[in-house]
Structures are given as C-alpha cells and as structure tokens.
Amino acid sequence: MEVNLRGYQQEAVDAVIQYLFKREGNPLVALPTGSGKSHVQAGLIETLLTKWPGTTVMCLTHVKELIEQNSEKMRMHMPDVGIGIYSAGLKKRELGYPVTFAGIQSIYNKDVEPPSLIIIDECHLVPKEGQGRYRQFLKRMLEAHPKLRVIGLTATPYRMRGGMLTGGKGKMFDSVVYNLPVQRLIDEGVLAPVTSAPTSAEIDTRSVSIQAGEYNLKELGSAADDDHVTGAAITDAFKHGEHRRSWLFFCVSVAHVHHVADALRRAGVTAAPITGETLAEDRAKWIADYKKGDIKALVNCNVLTTGFDAPETDMIVLLRPTVSPGLYVQMVGRGMRPAEGKDDCLVLDYGGNISRHGPIDDVVLPTETSGKGEAPVKFCPLCLAECHLSKRMCPECGHIFEMEEKELGKKASKLALLKGQKAVERHEVTSVAYGAHKSRAGHMTLRVDYWDGFVMVASEWICLEHRDFARHKAEKWWIRRDKYIEHVKDVPGTVADALSFAQDLLEPREVHTRKNGKYTEVVGYLF
C-alpha cells in the first residue's frame, strides 16, 4: 500500500533531509497536534533508508500508545522493512532491526547498540538539563557514537515551563527547520477550528505559589477543587455543550477528577474518571466507549494531554490552570482533530489560561534571565526568532508583528484562542429563510438568513454553483443538513434545485458569528 504524504508533511521531511545533508547539529520540526507527525516520521525514515541503505533509526517516545501508532504508520510506508519494538508496556523487547520504536522508560538504562540517528517524538519532554531518562540515554549514546544526530518532533517547540527548545544552556536541538502554522491546517480542513465562551466562574490562583516554573500542585489542587467552580463548570457545560457530542475535562489532582466526575454523574451525564491510578483495562474501555459516544465526558489529570486521539471531542473544559504554555497548547489541541458533523471545538477555560498565555498559535513565553524575574518574550511566526514582547519587527527576518491583538488586553484575550481571532457571538435561531442571490460578478449563490423572532441575526452565502474549494465547502454544508442524502453527488448543483429542497433541511438552534473587518461571518452552528 503506497502512502502519499500531504504537501506540508513532505515539506517537513525535505527540510530535515536538507538540514542533515548541509548543516551540523540537531534539527527540530514543529507540527501542530493533528497534523500527522506519525506520517512525517515514517516518511522521513523511508527517505533516509532509501537514500542511505544501512542507516539504523531509533524512535523514542514516552507512552506505549504513541509507540503503537508510530510503528503502525511505519509499516504502512515500508511494509518490508524490519521493525522492532522495545516497550515493557507492550511486552516486547526487540532489538537489532533497521528501525526500532522504543519507550524511554523501558530502554533508558539498557546497554544497546547506538543507531545512526535518533528521532524523539514529543521532544518538548526532554529536560534542558539534569539526569532525566532522556538525558541519561542520549548521553550514553553520544559517548559511544559522537556523530549521532538527533531529530525532534513536537507540537510545541518550547519547554513546558518556558523557553525555546533550541535555546538556553544544555539545549539538545539547534534549529527549528520547519514550523507549520495552525491556521494553515484549519484552512485546509486538516484541523477543526477552536473557539471559546465566557465562563461563569474562575479558579482563584492568587494564593498559589509557583515552584520550578509551575504552580504548586498541592496548593493548586485545593484552589481548583472548589464546589462553586465545579458547579459553574457543569452549568456552563450544559448551556454551551448540551448538543455537543464529547466533553473532555482537565483537572488538577486525582481527588479533583473524581469530584468532577461524580458531580457530572449526579447531573445525569455519563462520565468516566481517568488518572494515573486507573487500571489499564478500565482506561482502555472508557476511552473506547467515549469514542463510540457511549460515554459523554472523560475527566482526567495528567493523562490525556499527549498521545490521546479522539476526533469526536468537541468541547474541552479546562479546570486546570497552568503556567506552562506547552501544557496549555497540548490540552487545547486535544479538541482540534476534525470529525464528521463537527464544526469546531468549544473551550471553556476556568483556569485563566487563555488570558495568561494568549492564542495557542502565538503564545507569550517566559524566558530565562540572570535576574529573579522572567522577561516577557514572543517568537516570530515565520522564523521563530526570540525577541522582547514590545518589539514591532522581528530582528532576524523583518516580519512585522500585529500589535493590536496584544494591546487589546486581558478581557479581549479571554475569547481569542487563535491569533487574530475575534470574539464569537452566539445567537438563538427560531427560523431560517432561503433565497437566490446574484453577486456583482454574476455568480448565483444560495442566501441563508437566520432569524431570532423578528430580528435577522446572521446571513451566509452557499456557493453551490462554484468549483473547487467553494463547492466542496458548500457540499459539506448541505450534507450536514440533508438527512435523506446518501452521496455527495446528490448535493444540488444549482441554486434553483437547492431552493426546491431547502425547506426540508435541518435547521440549527444556534448560529455563531464573528466580526471579520466590517463584515460578520458565520463560523459555527448548534443543531
């Protein structure tokens, strides 16, 4: 079975190969959650083994789910290549193959032959210094093979507690060779948009101390596990997410998880608590039931941040404040995979994370300084160069920053999950009207007006008679509303045909709009 990489996936592979061939050092690839890092990794290995036969590759990660996922994708790309798996969790200890997928917990203290190169998935987990398992293993490998190259893959090219992975003392990676913008993936339909809504409560972190760049978990657990906040979160969840399919909650502690899950069940919601103490068989069953829709809510702490794939997740509830921009992005990223019937993922943030860190594709990071405080910095979206938050222009590539979004202040940032994103307004819909509309260029479109009583709250234009992306978008719009349609080919090809069927279409109970310059665009629906 031949596997073709997406355009951006091939760009990432080419960037790494070019770096390895022309430059010294270790490259880093930044790919948002849901972009298909497993395929990029497999495509990279395929290229390396094809161009340089005899190359050996070891792929490291921290959870067995990623080991399985990555090895399966590798077999799709190169069915005939020898693949070994070294993981206690998978009960396999296979060495001596051209490609080895290993769990760092299982292999870090083992005496193994150094490979030609190492690929680390979720490489933001490599500590900047110290004697962590990644550091111990890599040190031994480099001592045995000084020319060993290390490639990093991550959705967040900065440390969980601030600072770029390519900067600072003891850095493992030298350069970000490819950085894929989130918005590009949303525009291409690879990722689902994310949006947020105001919450009716917020966790008070003013008395919570910060230790080693993160909130003190014991103190944070006491602050977050609050009956008022939990009650508000459940009320808001019903208000905004009653008709959403799958809810994912992030909590602080094991006790917090169980309290929230119990409260959800008392409210009539099927909910399962998942923590590090959860039995493996229970965890697997509950996640499977969640994906099938038999469980509406998963409530977790420190488990479902990386390596968890549930595209149906269309609402995320953050009851977990964090100082870590990486953790914040990872949590939100769990809701960005697209799924049938999913328009977007709603994020309800009770931890002040959006205000603290900014949009997920333009987070403000703290960086190490010689003083006691931390200087606010930002990173260029084009070249990822680091500069002070106040700078108007990137000193490396000349990119002009959009300052006005940062200057809107804390209140506006509460609703901005993507750079440049404006606040979303939600409107109740009591009726929908359809009509034909001719543009100034002479193109016919289906005009759809949404009414709340006697007030028209929004309009949109469905381009059924257009080609390419506009037609594809129109087809998705129609299929979502026509319960009798069996195939995309049955979507009306003209506005006239559409009007004859329009009155039978499913109508949303809410529409979500956002200001775009002087215009208002429809960005979501609630059916």
pLDDT 10s digit of each residue in the chain, 527 long?
Answer: 578 899 999 999 999 999 998 898 999 999 888 888 899 999 999 999 998 888 999 999 988 888 998 999 999 999 999 999 999 888 899 999 999 999 999 998 888 999 999 999 988 888 776 667 888 898 999 999 998 999 999 888 876 555 788 877 778 888 999 988 888 888 888 899 898 888 889 999 988 998 877 899 999 999 999 999 999 999 999 988 888 999 999 999 999 999 999 999 999 999 999 998 899 899 989 999 999 999 999 999 988 876 677 899 999 999 999 988 888 988 998 999 899 888 899 999 999 898 888 888 877 665 554 334 444 555 555 545 555 555 556 555 556 665 433 332 333 334 567 776 666 678 889 999 999 988 776 788 999 999 998 888 889 889 888 877 678 788 888 888 887 777 778 888 898 998 988 888 989 888 888 776 667 788 777 77
State whether residue 457 is helix, strand or coil: strand
Distance CA 483, CA 196 (A): 29
β-sheet bridge partners, residue 86: 93, 102
Token couple for 141: 């490998």
Is residue 33 a contact partner of residue 334, using CB atoms and an 8 Å limit? yes
Q: Which of 408, 388, 387, 410 is nearest to 397 (CA)?
A: 387
What are the residue ranges of helices labelled H in 277-343?
Answer: 280-292, 325-333
> Measured in whole angstroms, how far is the alpha carbon of residue 222 from the centre of its chain?
28
**Residue from 396, 303, 313 nearest 348 by CA:** 313
Q: Which of 369, 357, 310, 317 is nearest to 337 (CA)?
A: 310
- The answer to whether 7-180 and 194-357 have equal CATH topology is yes
Helix axes 254-266, 227-241, angle to 10 degrees: 50
Q: Amino acid letter at 407?
A: E
Alpha helix ranges (H) inside 25-80: 37-51, 64-77
Q: What is the 3-state secondary structure (H, E, C) of 155-221?
A: CCCECCCCCECCCCCCCCCCEEEEECCHHHHHHCCCCCCEEECCCCCCCCCCCCCEECCEECHHHHH
CATH assignment, 7-180: 3.40.50.300
Tell me how far apart the alpha carbons of residues 374 and 213 are, in angstroms, rounded to a whole number. 10
Q: Which amino acid is at 386?
A: E
Residue 144: closest CA among 123, 121, 118, 105? 118
Q: Which among 317, 320, 313, 318 is positioned nearest to 344, based on CA atoms?
A: 313
Judge whether 283 and 295 are in contact, CB under 8 Å: no
Both structure tokens of 112: 């193994």
Q: Which phi and psi angles does 386 have, rounded to 5°?
A: -90, 135
Per CATH, the homologous superfamily of domain 194-357 is P-loop containing nucleotide triphosphate hydrolases (3.40.50.300)
Domain residue limits, the chain: 7-180, 194-357, 425-526
Going by C-alpha positions, the residue among 510, 513, 514 that lies closest to residue 526 is 510
Q: Which amino acid is at 133?
A: R
